[in-house]
């Protein structure tokens, strides 16, 4: 079979923050693609604001570079397991992967996760050891770790002899030598290794068309856009083709627009053939995994497996006393429209109606997946409330099963005892414990996903911010029939509506940690802090000091309070208990009791306890 030797299709995979997106930037800058006037952003491939702020890739992106007569399509994949569905589908589009590994941190849980997907798709690997210029770099050990991981994941013998390039993406240097002194200001070693090692796609463009959709995009002008690879044949603007749906039905449609990729842009093209990565518009109800074929040669490709959700939350319209103050979109109709719109492109998301017209059950791949949807919605002007995240329990072969996560922790040795104790309480089972030198220990565990909800904040407190926690979905296992995780401490709940006062905060701050600044507006039933004990207590945080004409002997002492802990969205989602909601608006994140009235809360708690 002839090959299209002028094309290479490659994905870049890595653990979060190992420098993958920065590396793609350098490949773009040092190729023959961008003209001299093009100014490239520091994180050009991260187009979403949240991606830029957090330094993570959420959405798979494709770009392409021209280099010495070759067209190299590069897929920049998410490094976080919550977006693993994207990684898996991208592997069907490419012939090779560039695995980027930090020269100090080495292989991490998400490295394992994305690599496993690559091996399942049988694509050719290249390893780039990045950040070689770090003083703490240990390239030789890291390459050994990668080899061990390849063996552990069942790589075949041909993959074990993988090529290695050493680089500093930030500095724009690379070399085939692991000596930092040999680094030169060029990405040529990476380009040359991609061309020599990654197989060229087959050229079977004289056969019947097969184009499979791996990713979806959407815009209001052309509707749904299917992004994928032409596996066989040719496709041209104006062609009438058949869409083979996942449910077995067929639909004919006319190709209205075709796009190829070059640099950071989609460019309109007239025709594409086997081996090309393209985007197609003109089909309103196209879905991931469906195949576009010639009308006279209808042969569908294997449907793509899409990762099932493991976590769900209830999304509700905002009914707090402060509802409608800040948001543009507050009605149930607007909220449902927005959630349904998200389903156009996010294939790992599920939205189900409930008996109430103001509530929906939204299921996703993890806390990060759902919190990013919530964050995007509040930035767009939506007001909503969400319930505590719950794991999705399944019945597998007649056995009640729950999701388990692979947890990897790097911690200073003095905290390892507390961490082991905390994970044991969450019914974790230790897989490995090794000393990494320099007084740190690496712990590897399997833990029920229930036990990891809310664990991050607790972990940072345990290790005083010195620990590094990574966790990723691993498998479904038999359900452990006992309470796991959950918050230990009760909440401080406001009794009244008004502005929090310095005096009011001073009267209650010895009861626990306060979440609001003086002057913040609060309402009755709103959570204003965390109790030091297990029970909830109601507090009057808005009260002011009664003024008298008696001068105090310590009148010159200025009232001072401890700095309140202002909760982020993720911290709020982790903090919530089952009888609480998080109210999210464009300007505020508030925690509240589901039942705001104190007497009604007490009645509901009594009823719940009597039913147990």
So what's the pLDDT on residue 50?
A: 45
d(CA 356, CA 268): 45
**Nearest alpha-carbon partner for 285 in 245, 231, 254:** 245
Q: Which of 11-15, 89-93, 110-114, 605-609 has the lowest mean pLDDT?
A: 110-114
Which range is most confident: 217-221, 282-286, 362-366, 396-400?
396-400
> Distance between CA atoms of 263 and 65, rounded to whole angstroms?
6
Lowest mean pLDDT among 112-116, 208-212, 489-493: 112-116
Query: What gap in Å lies between CA 36 and CA 31, rounded to an integer?
Result: 11
115 or 524, which is more confident? 524
Q: What was the pLDDT predicted at 363?
A: 93
Q: Check pLDDT > 60 for residue 39.
A: no
pLDDT at 325 over 80: yes
- pLDDT over threshold 50, residue 58: no
Residue 143 three-state SS: helix
Q: Could you say which DSSP state residue 181 is in?
A: G
Which residues are known binding-site members for GTP?
Answer: 17-22, 130-133
- Interior/surface letters 277-309, b for 16+ CB within 10 angstroms, e for the rest: bbbbbbbeebbbbbbbbbeeeeebbeebeebeb
Half-sphere exposure at residue 55, Cβ-oriented, CA atoms within 13 angstroms: 8
Sign of CA dihedral 23, 28, 30, 36: negative
pLDDT tens digits for range 13-27:
887 666 777 888 888
Which position has the token pair 């911010």? 465
Q: What are phi and psi of 9, to 5 degrees?
A: -115, 120
Please give the average per-residue pLDDT across 374-402, as a whole number. 92
Residues annotated within the binding site are 17-22, 130-133
DSSP string, 587-612: S-EEEEESS--HHHHHHHHHHHHHH-
Three-point CA angle 586, 470, 49, nearest 5°: 30
- Checking if the pLDDT of 548 tops 70, the result is no
Domains in the chain and their CATH numbers?
Answer: 7-197 (3.40.50.300), 210-294 (2.40.30.10), 308-393+580-612 (3.30.70.870), 395-478 (3.30.70.240), 488-566 (2.40.50.250)
User: Which is more confident, 221 or 50?
Assistant: 221
Closest CA to 596 of 542, 526, 515, 499: 526
Reported pTM: 0.76
The C-alpha atoms of residue 541 and residue 523 are separated, in whole angstroms, by 10
Q: In Å, what is the CA distance from 84 to each residue of 113, 305, 308, 468, 538? A: 8, 11, 10, 21, 43
Tell me the backbone φ, ψ of residue 415, rounded to 5 degrees.
Answer: -100, -5
Q: Work out the average pLDDT over 232-247.
A: 88
User: pLDDT value at position 551?
Assistant: 55
Give the number of other CB atoms < 10 A from CB of residue 481: 7
Question: What span, in angstroms and rounded, lies between the C-alpha atoms of 117 and 91?
Answer: 7
* Average pLDDT along the chain: 84
Q: How many CA atoms lie within 13 A of 475 on its CB side?
A: 5
Query: What was the pLDDT predicted at 128?
Result: 92
Q: What is the pLDDT of residue 20?
A: 74
Q: What local confidence, expressed as pLDDT, does residue 225 receive?
A: 82
């Amino acid at each position: 079979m002839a090959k299209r030797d002028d094309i290479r299709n490659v994905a870049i995979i890595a653990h979060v923050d190992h420098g993958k997106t920065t590396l793609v930037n350098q490949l773009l800058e040092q190729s023959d693609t961008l003209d001299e006037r093009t100014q490239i952003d520091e994180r050009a491939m991260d187009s979403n604001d949240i991606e830029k702020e957090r330094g993570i890739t959420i959405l798979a992106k494709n770009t392409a570079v021209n280099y010495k007569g070759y067209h190299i399509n590069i897929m920049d994949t998410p490094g976080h397991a919550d977006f693993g569905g994207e990684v898996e589908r991208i592997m069907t589009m490419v012939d090779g992967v560039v695995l980027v590994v930090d020269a100090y941190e080495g292989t991490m849980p998400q490295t394992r996760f994305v690599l496993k997907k690559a091996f399942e798709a049988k694509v050719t690997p290249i390893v780039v050891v990045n950040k070689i210029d770090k003083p703490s770099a240990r390239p030789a050990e890291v390459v050994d770790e990668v080899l061990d991981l390849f063996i552990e994941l069942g790589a075949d013998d041909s993959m074990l002899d993988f090529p290695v390039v050493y680089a500093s993406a930030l500095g724009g240097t690379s070399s085939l030598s692991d000596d930092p002194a040999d680094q030169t200001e060029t990405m040529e070693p990476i380009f040359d290794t991609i061309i020599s090692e990654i197989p060229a796609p087959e050229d079977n463009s004289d056969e019947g068309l097969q184009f499979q959709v791996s990713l979806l995009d959407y815009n209001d002008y052309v509707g749904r856009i299917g992004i994928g690879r032409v596996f066989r044949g040719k496709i041209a603007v104006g062609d009438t083709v058949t869409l083979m749906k996942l449910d077995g039905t067929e639909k004919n449609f006319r190709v209205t627009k075709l796009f190829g990729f070059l640099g950071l842009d989609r460019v309109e093209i007239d025709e594409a053939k086997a081996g090309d990565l393209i985007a197609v518009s003109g089909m309103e109800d196209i879905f991931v995994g469906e195949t576009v074929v010639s009308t006279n040669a209808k042969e569908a490709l294997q449907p793509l497996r899409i990762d099932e959700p493991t976590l769900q939350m209830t999304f509700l319209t905002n009914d707090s006393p402060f509802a409608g103050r800040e948001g543009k979109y507050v009605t149930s109709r607007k909220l449902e429209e927005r959630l349904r719109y998200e389903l156009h492109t996010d294939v790992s998301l599920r939205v189900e109606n409930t008996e109430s017209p103001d509530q929906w059950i939204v299921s996703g791949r993890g806390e990060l997946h759902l919190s990013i949807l919530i964050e995007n919605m509040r930035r767009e002007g939506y007001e909503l409330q969400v319930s505590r995240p719950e794991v999705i329990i399944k019945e597998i072969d007649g056995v009640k099963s729950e999701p388990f996560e692979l947890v990897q922790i790097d911690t200073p040795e003095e905290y390892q005892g507390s961490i082991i104790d905390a994970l044991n309480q969450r019914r974790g089972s230790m897989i490995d414990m090794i000393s990494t030198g320099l007084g740190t220990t690496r712990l590897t565990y399997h833990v029920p996903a229930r036990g990891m909800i809310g664990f991050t904040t607790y972990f940072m407190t345990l290790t005083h911010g010195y620990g590094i926690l990574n966790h990723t979905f691993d498998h479904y296992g038999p359900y452990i029939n006992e309470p796991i995780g959950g918050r230990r401490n009760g909440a401080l709940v406001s009794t009244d509506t008004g502005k929090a006062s310095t005096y009011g905060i001073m009267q209650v701050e010895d009861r626990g940690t306060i979440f609001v600044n003086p002057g913040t507006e609060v309402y009755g039933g709103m959570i204003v802090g965390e109790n030091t004990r297990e029970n909830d207590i109601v507090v009057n945080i808005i009260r002011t000091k009664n003024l008298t004409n008696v001068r105090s002997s310590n009148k010159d002492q200025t009232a001072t309070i401890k700095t309140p802990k202002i909760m982020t969205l993720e911290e709020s989602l982790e903090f919530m208990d089952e009888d609480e909601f998080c109210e999210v608006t464009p300007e505020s994140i508030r925690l509240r009791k589901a039942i705001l009235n104190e007497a009604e809360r007490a009645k509901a708690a009594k009823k719940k306890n009597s039913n147990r």
